[in-house]
Amino acid sequence: MGSLLVTGGAGYVGSHAVRQLQCKGEKIVVLDDLSEGHRQATAGVDLVVADLADTTRIGSVLDELFQKETFDVVLHFAGRAYVGESVRDPERYYRINVGGGIELLSAMARNGVPRIIFSSTCATYGEPDTVPILEDHPQRPLSAYGRTKLAFELALKDFEIAHGIRHINFRYFNAAGAHPDGTLGEDHRPETHLIPLVCDAALGLRPAVDIFGTDYPTPDGTCIRDYIHVVDLADAHILGVEALRSGASSTSYNLGMGHGYSVLEVVESVKRVSGRDVTARHTPRRPGDPPSLVASSQKASDELGWKPSFKDLDDIVKTAWQFKQSYPQGYSKT
Q: What are phi and psi of 189, to 5 degrees?
A: -130, 110
Classify 276 as helix, strand or coil.
coil
Q: Does 286 bind ligand UDP (CB under 6 A)?
A: yes
Residues 216-245 that bind ligand UDP (CB under 6 A): 223, 225
- Residue nearest ligand UDP (C-beta atom): 223
95 burial class (0-12, 13-18, 19+ CB within 10 angstroms)?
A: middle
Among 105, 117, 197, 316, which residue interacts with ligand UDP (rule: CB under 6 A)?
197
Classify 74 as helix, strand or coil.
strand
Q: What share of the chain is helix, strand, coil (3-state, %, to 5)?
A: 40, 20, 40
Query: CA-CA distance, 117 to 69, in Å (whole number)?
Result: 19
Of the residues 82, 145, 216, 253, only one is catalytic, namely 145
**Considering the complex, what minimum distance in angstroms separates the CB of residue 179 from ligand UDP?**
19
φ/ψ bin of 251: left (φ > 0), alpha (ψ from -120 to 50), beta (otherwise):
beta
Secondary structure letter of residue 248 according to DSSP: P
**Quick count: other Cβ atoms within 10 Å of Cβ 275?**
8
Specify whether 145 is catalytic.
yes
Size of the site for ligand UDP (CB under 6 A): 15
Q: Does 211 bind ligand UDP (CB under 6 A)?
A: yes
Query: CA-CA distance, 127 to 112, in Å (whole number)?
Result: 38
Give the x/- contact pattern for ligand UDP in 71-100, rule: CB under 6 A.
Answer: ------------x-----------------
**Considering the complex, what minimum distance in angstroms separates the CB of residue 116 from ligand UDP?**
23
Q: Does 263 bind ligand UDP (CB under 6 A)?
A: yes
Among 210, 242, 265, 315, which residue interacts with ligand UDP (rule: CB under 6 A)?
210
Active-site residue numbers? 145
Site residues for ligand UDP per CB under 6 A: 83, 174, 192-194, 197, 209-212, 223, 225, 263, 286, 289
